[in-house]
């Protein structure tokens, strides 16, 4: 039969491990619930980011602490204890690195959503942040468990030159992507039109390319290096509100004062009632041409963003045409005079 002392030697470490496991599960659940129930948090977005970064971490810490306590209570050889201690240290440092990574990315996400943010949230920026943090964390872990990182850094420095030469195109796109992000000329959500004619909403900037979603829901993939050197129009900068221009022509016999009054009345109505209009914007018009068959002018009114110009222009033309019919204002048919040649 197994002696009591031998049984205790196995049961005590097992009990300590199970205790750490149960404590980790209970404390994580209670801690997260307690933190979420704290009322009147001043900056809730950052506080929520902090809570989200803690998920899974209390369990790992307490479970690891239980294993470490069981290791101390056991009668293993010093070599095995040292080996297991290094594994436990690696787990703890890895958990801390994960927490820091979650916090940094969460705070970047919160900061990027503010109106005065200089750092838009893109896949490139998120991945670079994660890469830097995990690289530093890995070096700290290696140094902490007794592995010298100096030769590794030297090898990376020498090998980096060769890798850089082999990946010139990739690195060009990477640094071009950083240039796009830091210059703030293109941000996710902006509506852009390329010099080649493609246009749509920017969805993301990755380490290699920028993706643009067209209105028919197709994706355009543009290498970052090509986008940096290209000429394009950004309809969302310097602000998302745009001015919509509509060309109109009325008959020469029209009362232009009444035309201006009626037209601006319709434009103001569209600004107030149509989704996408800007109620604060005061529409205006300017007569500019004596055409072949009409006096031409341009109407200017606002739209909240580029795509809204479609619905505001649509509603304005419909309502203006109906109102002109009610007011007796004529929109003449196109007429171009033709002079026959004098027969010889």
Domain boundaries, the chain: 4-149, 176-234, 242-327
30-82 confidence digits (pLDDT tens): 766 665 666 555 555 555 666 666 666 676 776 677 776 776 666 667 777 77
Instruction: Assess contact for 317 and 246: CB atoms under 8 A.
Output: yes
User: Cα separation of 124 and 301, whole Å?
Assistant: 37
pLDDT for res 69: 72
The domain defined by 242-327 carries CATH number 3.30.70.100: yes
Is-contact 219 206, C-beta < 8 A?
Answer: no
Find the helix packing angle between 123-144 and 150-166, rounded to 10°.
150
**Pick from 248, 247, 251: nearest CA to 329:** 251
Give the whole-angstrom CA distance, residue 198 versus residue 238.
Answer: 21
Per-residue pLDDT reduced to its tens digit, 259-299: 999 999 999 999 999 988 999 999 999 999 998 889 999 99
Decide: 206 and 275 in contact? Cβ < 8 Å: no
Place of tokens 């001015």: 243
The pTM of this model reads: 0.57
- Helix and strand numbers (H, E) in the chain are 10, 8
Helix (H) or strand (E) holding 101, with range, is helix 78-112
Q: How far apart are CA 192 and CA 189, in angstroms?
A: 9
Domain 176-234 CATH (choose: 3.30.70.120, 2.40.50.140, 2.30.60.10, 2.30.30.60): 2.30.30.60
The CA angle 83-86-92, to the nearest 5 degrees, is 145
User: How far apart are the C-alpha atoms of 186 and 120, rounded to whole Å?
Assistant: 9
Do 24 and 61 touch, CB atoms closer than 8 A? yes
């Amino acid at each position: 039969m197994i002696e009591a002392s031998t049984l205790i030697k196995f049961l005590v470490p097992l009990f300590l491990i199970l205790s750490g496991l149960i404590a980790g599960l209970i404390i994580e659940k209670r801690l997260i619930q307690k933190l979420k129930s704290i009322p009147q948090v001043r900056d809730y977005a950052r506080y929520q980011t902090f809570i989200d970064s803690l998920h899974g971490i209390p369990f790992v810490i307490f479970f690891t602490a239980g294993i470490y306590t069981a290791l101390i209570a056991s009668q293993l050889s010093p070599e095995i204890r040292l080996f297991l201690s290094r594994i436990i240290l690696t787990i703890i440092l890895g958990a801390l690195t994960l927490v820091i990574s979650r916090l940094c990315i969460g705070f970047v996400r919160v900061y990027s959503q503010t109106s005065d943010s200089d750092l838009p949230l893109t896949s490139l920026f998120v991945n670079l942040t994660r890469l830097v943090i995990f690289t530093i964390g890995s070096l700290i872990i290696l140094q902490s468990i007794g592995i010298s990182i100096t030769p590794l850094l030297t090898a990376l420095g020498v090998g980096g030159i060769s890798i850089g030469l082999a990946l010139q195109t990739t690195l060009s796109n990477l640094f071009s992507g950083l240039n796009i992000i830091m210059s703030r000329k293109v941000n996710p959500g902006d509506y852009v039109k390329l010099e080649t004619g493609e246009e749509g909403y920017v969805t993301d900037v990755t380490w290699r390319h920028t993706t643009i979603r067209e209105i028919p829901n197709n994706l355009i993939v543009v290498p970052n290096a090509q986008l940096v050197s290209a000429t394009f129009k950004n309809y969302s900068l310097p602000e998302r509100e745009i001015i919509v221009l509509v060309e109109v022509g009325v008959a020469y016999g029209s009362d232009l004062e009444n035309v201006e009054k009626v037209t601006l009345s319709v434009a103001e109505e569209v600004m107030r009632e149509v989704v996408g209009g800007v109620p604060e914007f005061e529409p205006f018009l300017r007569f500019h041409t004596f055409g072949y068959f009409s006096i031409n002018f341009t109407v200017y009114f606002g739209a909240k963003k580029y795509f809204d110009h479609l619905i505001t222009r649509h509603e304005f033309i419909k309502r203006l045409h109906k109102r002109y019919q009610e007011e007796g204002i004529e929109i003449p048919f196109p007429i171009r005079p033709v002079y026959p040649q004098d027969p010889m």
